[in-house]
Amino acid sequence: MSSVRSSSLGFPRIGEQREWKKNLEAYWNQKISKEDYVTKQKALRLENLQKQKDAGLDLIPVGDFTHYDHVLDTAVAFGLVPDRFSYDGGEVDLDTYFAIARGNDNAVAAEMTKWFDTNYHYIVPELNGREPELVHNRWLTLIEEAKKELHIVGKPVILGPVTFVKLSKQYGNRSFVDHVRSLLPLYTTVLNELANAGVEWIQVDEPILVGDVSDEEWSIIEEAYDWFAKSAPDAKILLQTYFEGIGALDRATKLAVAGLGLDFVYSNSLEQLKGTDFPKDKTLAAGLIDGRNIWRTDLTETHSIVKEILTVVSEEQLIIQPSCSLLHVPVTLKHEQKLESDLKAALSFAEEKLTELDQVKSVVNKENEPERLQAGKEAIEALNQSASRTNKEVREALERSKKEDSKREVPANKRMELQQEVFQFPSLPTTTIGSFPQSPEVRKTRLQWRRGEISNEAYEAFINAEIKRWIDIQEEIDLDVLVHGEFERTDMVEFFGEKLGGFEFTSNGWVQSYGSRCVKPPIIYGDVYFQEAMTVKETLYAQSLTEKPVKGMLTGPVTIYNWSFPRTDLQPGDVVNQIALALEKEVLALESAGITVIQVDEPALREGLPLKRSKWTDYLNQSVVAFQLSVKSVQPETQIHTHMCYSDFQDIIQAIDGLDADVISIEMSRSHGELITAFEDYTYSKGIGLGVYDIHSPRVPTEEEMETSINRALQVLDQRIFWVNPDCGLKTRKEPETVEALKAMVKAAKNKRKELLVK
C-alpha cells in the first residue's frame, strides 16, 4: 500500500540550551581542546538526528550540521580557500576553517552577508583562480556516522553548484558558467559516493531558482542536472527550493532530477502546480509547515492543500515537509514556562513543527481521523479573539498616518546647513555605530538583575559606571560623536520589544544569526504601541558627562519587524507602521531631553527585500515610509542617522536616499570595498559613512589599512559629507581590540584631514 512520506530540510544546530554556541566559544577561547570540542559537537549532532528520528520523519536530513556555516562547509570541501590563508591543499583543518570565517592576525575574514531574505548570515566563498578539487566528502562522512551511531540512513543535504557559484565572489577571467562547470565533476564524485553508500535520496539545494533566473542561469542549471543524470545515474536527486516559488515551474519540472521540492507556504506553488503537467515519474516534496515563523499551523487547511496536491500527483509521488530548513526557528517549546497559555498554545518551534508534520502524515495516510487536526486551528482562533491583540488608539493613529505626508518638512540640504552651524563638526567626523563590548561582567550583572539577585538601584549604578567609563574612553580616543554603549541591552530588537506594547518574549527561543551569534527574536502578537520612554535615561546620563554630542540609539521599524516573529493576521505594512509610530514618540522624547543626534538603525532593510524584483517597489516604498514616519516630527536641527550592514546596496541606492536620513553608515570593509561602485553612478549628497574596518573579526586593522579605505571612499564621495566609522556595532568584540582599533581609526581620519587641508 502506497503512502505519503515525511521529510525535513534541516534542523536547528544550536541545541536546546545553545550548547553549540558554548562549545564554539569555549574552543575559540582555548578553554577546551580541539578533541573535546569535536567530541561535544558530535554528541550534539547525533542528538539532533535522534530527535528527528523520534519525531517519525521518514527522510532525516544529514549534513546540515556545521562548525560555522553550511556555505563555508561547501567551499572548503572543494578546497576553495582564499589565497591569503596560506592553504597548501588537502582537507582543510579546523583552525583554517575558522580563520576564513573570522579572520586572523595575518588575513582578513571572508565577506559575510545575508542568506536570501533571512537574518542568517553566510560566509561568501571566493573563487579566486584556485582550481577546485574535492578534498573531503563531508556528506559521506556524516552519512556514515549517522548509519554507524544511530542506524539512520539519512538524506544528505548539499548546496547545489549553481546556487553556490551564484552566491560566491567570482574573480578572474572565468565566467559564471565556467565556474559551475568546473565543479560538476566534483559534485559527481560526491553524488556517486553517496549513492554507493546506500542513501535513497540526496537533497541538493538550489534556492537561487526562486529569484529572477536569467536564461543563462536556466541553461547552466539544465546542463548541470543533465550532467548528473548521465554521470551519477544511481543518485536520486531531490532538487530543493524554498523561500518563494519557482517562476518557470514548467521548466523546473523538466529538469533531469528524480524529485522537486517546492515551498507551498511563501508562494503560489499550489496554483502553479494545478496548472502544470507534473511528470508521473517525479517525486514532489511539498513544503507545507512554515519553517520561518513560530505560529502553529492550521492543519485542517494544510490537509486540504494536501488533498488538492493529490489531484495532481499520486501518494507515492508525494513527500510532505516544512517550507525550508528549521534552522530559522527555535528548537523546542518545552522550556517555555512563562508564556501566557493562549499564546503558548498558538506557538510551534522546530520539534513541534515535526510533530505537526507527523500529524498531517498520519491523517493523509488514514492512520488517524481528520478531527485530530483541529487543535492548531482552535489555538490560533483563541489567540485572535484575545482582547490583548487589538488596540483602538493604535488602529486610529495608523489610519491617520495613511492620510499624511511622512517626510520631514525641511529639505535635506537646508537641514545640513543648519546642523553644521549647530555642531561645527570637523571634516571627516568620527563616530561609532552604537554598541561597545559587553564583557562577561556586564552579561553576568544583567543576568543577576533579571533574576532578582541584585536591586534595581545596584544595577543602574553598575550600568552608569560602564557608561561613564566608556564616555571617558571615547573622549580620550577623541571621537567626534559619542554613544552611551548600550550596556543595558541584550539585543537591539529584544530590548525595544520588551518596552513596547504588543510584544512577548520566550525564555529560550534562540536562533543562529551568524557563527556563534544567536538571537532571541521577540514575538509580535498584538498591536504595537509606545508605553514609556525607553532610552532617554541612559542617553541623557551619558550626555551629562561630555560636551560632545551623544547619539540616541534606536532600532528602526523595518528591522524590528524583520528580526521578530511577526503576527500573520495583519498586513506586514500595517505592523511595520505601528512600530514606526511608536518609535516616533521615543525619538521626540529624546529630542525633548536635549539629545539632538539620533540614530535609527535599519540593518535589516535590505535583507527583507523580496526575492523577485517584481515585488521590490512595494516593499521599498513601505520601508521608506515607515522610516520617515519614525522621525518626521523632529526639528530640522536634529540630526538623524541610520545604519545598514551586510547587503548589496547597488540595487536599492535610491530607496536609501529616499529614507531622507541626514547621515547613513553602511558596511564596506567586509565586502573589501566593493560597495564603492554603488556611488560611482549615483550622486549621494547627504552624510554618509562607509565602514572602514570589519568588527566581526577579532583582527585589529592597521592605521594604514583604514586610511586606504578612507581614500577609496573619497574617490567617489565628497569629503564634506563623508563620516569615518566602523562597519557595525562593537558589542561582540573585546575591549582591548576595540580601543586599539578605534584609536587607529581616529588617527587615520586625522591624518586624512591634515592632507585635505594641505590640498
> Would you say 689 and 723 are in contact if contact means Cβ atoms under 8 Å apart?
yes
Q: Contacts from 399-407 at CB under 8 Å and sequence distance 24+?
A: 401/577, 401/581, 401/629, 405/632, 406/625, 406/628, 406/629, 406/632, 407/628, 407/632, 407/660
DSSP, collapsed to helix, strand or coil, labels residue 400 as helix
Strand partners, 127: 170
* 371 marked ligand binding residue: no
Task: Indicate which residues carry an active-site annotation.
Answer: 696
* 563 marked ligand binding residue: yes
* 601 marked ligand binding residue: yes
> Would you say 190 and 140 are in contact if contact means Cβ atoms under 8 Å apart?
yes
Q: Give me 442's grid cell.
A: 556586564
DSSP tag of 731? T
Number of H helices, E strands in the chain: 26, 22
* 144 marked ligand binding residue: no
* 372 marked ligand binding residue: no
* 20 marked ligand binding residue: yes
* 13 marked ligand binding residue: no
* 21 marked ligand binding residue: yes
* 126 marked ligand binding residue: no
- The kind and range of the H/E element at 112 are strand 112-114
Q: Which amino acid is at 209?
A: L
> Would you say 416 and 687 are in contact if contact means Cβ atoms under 8 Å apart?
yes
The residues, ordered by sequence, that sit 6+ positions from 641 with a Cβ below 8 Å of its Cβ are 551, 597, 598, 599, 600, 661, 662, 663, 664, 665, 687
Backbone angles phi, psi at 726, to 5 degrees: -70, 175
* 119 marked ligand binding residue: yes
Label residues 584-623 b or e (16+ Cβ within 10 Å = b).
bbbbbbbbebebbbbbbbbbbbbbbbbbeeeeeeebbebb
* 434 marked ligand binding residue: yes
* 201 marked ligand binding residue: no
Query: 507515492: which residue's cell?
Result: 316
* 728 marked ligand binding residue: yes
Query: 547545489: which residue's cell?
Result: 160
3-state SS, one letter per residue, for 231-270? HCCCCCEEEECCCCCCCCHHHHHCCCCCEEEEECCCCCHH
* 667 marked ligand binding residue: yes
* 643 marked ligand binding residue: yes
Q: Give me 89's grid cell.
A: 591543499
* 324 marked ligand binding residue: no
DSSP tag of 362? H
* 18 marked ligand binding residue: yes
Strand duo 639-644 + 663-666: pairing: parallel
Angle made by CA atoms 458, 459, 462, in degrees to the nearest 5: 90
Q: What is d(CA 751, CA 703) in angstroms, rounded to the nearest whole number?
A: 10
> What residue numbers does the annotated binding site for L-homocysteine cover?
433-435, 486, 601
The annotated binding site for L-methionine is made up of: 433-435, 486, 601
Please state the residue numbers annotated as binding site: 18-21, 114, 119, 433-435, 486, 517-518, 563, 601, 607, 643, 645, 667, 728
Q: Which residues are annotated as a binding site for 5-methyltetrahydropteroyltri-L-glutamate?
A: 18-21, 114, 119, 517-518, 563, 607
